[in-house]
Amino acid sequence: MCLAVPGRVMEIGERDGTRMAVVDFGGVVKDVCLEYLPDLRVGEYAIVHVGFALQRLDEESARRTLELFGELGLLQEEFGDPWEAAAEQADAPDPQSGPEARR
């Protein structure tokens, strides 16, 4: 599943001519493209989908949504380690855990 998740803008900069931000999603920090919201500022919240900030959001709505997603386990599903998730689904050891995990 691919959610649109609210996050708080921590830093803003430019990378290769593209306006980018470091965004905190309730403890998970990711780089996000701000091209669709060029006037978004540090400290503001936005809904982010597949790495793009799409819509400004008020702080209370963002916090409530993050709490609900956390309670439902959706943040781990969205931001969790894909290797770990694949190993769990296959009932196999995590390939990034080293050779001793594969024995």
In the chain, how many domains are there?
A: 1
Let me know if residue 60 belongs to a domain.
yes
Domain of 56?
Answer: 5-94
| C-beta of residue 54 within 8 angstroms of C-beta of residue 4 | yes
**0.95 exceeded by pTM:** no
Q: Which helix (H) or strand (E) holds 69?
A: helix 59-72
Which amino acid, 59? E
Query: Residue 43 is part of a domain; what is its CATH number?
Result: 2.30.30.140
pLDDT in tens, 2-18: 678 899 999 999 999 99
pLDDT in tens, 26-62: 888 999 999 999 999 999 999 999 899 999 999 999 9
d(CA 37, CA 9): 12
d(CA 52, CA 48): 5
Question: Where are the strands (E) in the chain, listed by range?
Answer: 5-15, 18-25, 28-33, 45-49, 52-57
